């Protein structure tokens, strides 16, 4: 886990900075700057478009009384894509645009759902009561596990 966090927070930004530096060295500065601005603008436009589509799917599923699990995961992926596209960098732009593609999201959603199914354990517990047998028509029977609630009323004559 620590290795993954290291890769995410150290190596990816470093690689992004190196690629941006190479972009600034090989192309005129205004083309490089234009690259950053255009990908941010296009990314925010497409992320907003895909986000609206996902939100519409969530609403439709909820109107049909379905749990919108797939659409919620899609929403998280589109949100992540928007963040990646606003962040300046070549790798983050590529990853962000990839997350906006429905086919890529479908594959990642399936992997995420399989991961959650492995990690989440659901257990059920059944309780039975012998209340009717303790208080049958013949006579009440009290044991150590029976709880009877009551109220004391003080009436003075």
pLDDT tens profile 106-141: 999 999 989 988 888 777 766 655 555 545 555 555
Check: CB of residue 71 under 8 Å from CB of residue 54. yes
Mean pLDDT of 55-74: 92
Instruction: Report the b/e string of 96-119 with b at 16+ CB within 10 A.
Output: bbebbeeeebeebbeebeeeeeee
Whole-structure pTM value: 0.69
Does residue 34 carry a pLDDT above 60?
yes
Mean pLDDT rounded to a whole number for the chain: 83
Structure tokens belonging to residue 123: 């257990």
Structure tokens belonging to residue 150: 């009551």
Does residue 22 carry a pLDDT above 70?
yes
Backbone angles phi and psi of 135, in degrees to 5:
-120, 60
Residue 88: the pLDDT is 83
């Amino acid at each position: 886990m620590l290795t993954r966090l290291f890769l995410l927070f150290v190596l990816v930004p470093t690689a992004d900075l190196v690629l941006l530096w190479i972009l600034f060295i090989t192309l005129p500065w205004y083309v490089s700057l234009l690259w950053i601005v255009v990908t941010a603008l296009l990314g925010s436009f497409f992320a907003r478009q895909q986000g609206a589509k996902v939100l519409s799917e969530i609403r439709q599923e909820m109107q049909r009384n379905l749990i919108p699990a797939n659409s919620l995961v899609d929403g998280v992926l589109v949100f992540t894509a928007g963040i990646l596209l606003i962040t300046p960098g070549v790798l983050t732009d590529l990853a962000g645009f990839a997350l906006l593609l429905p086919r890529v999201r479908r594959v990642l959603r399936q992997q995420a759902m399989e991961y959650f199914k492995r990690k989440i354990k659901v257990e059920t517990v059944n309780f039975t009561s012998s209340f009717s047998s303790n208080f049958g028509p013949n006579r009440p029977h009290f044991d150590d596990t029976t709880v009877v609630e009551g109220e004391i009323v003080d009436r003075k004559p």
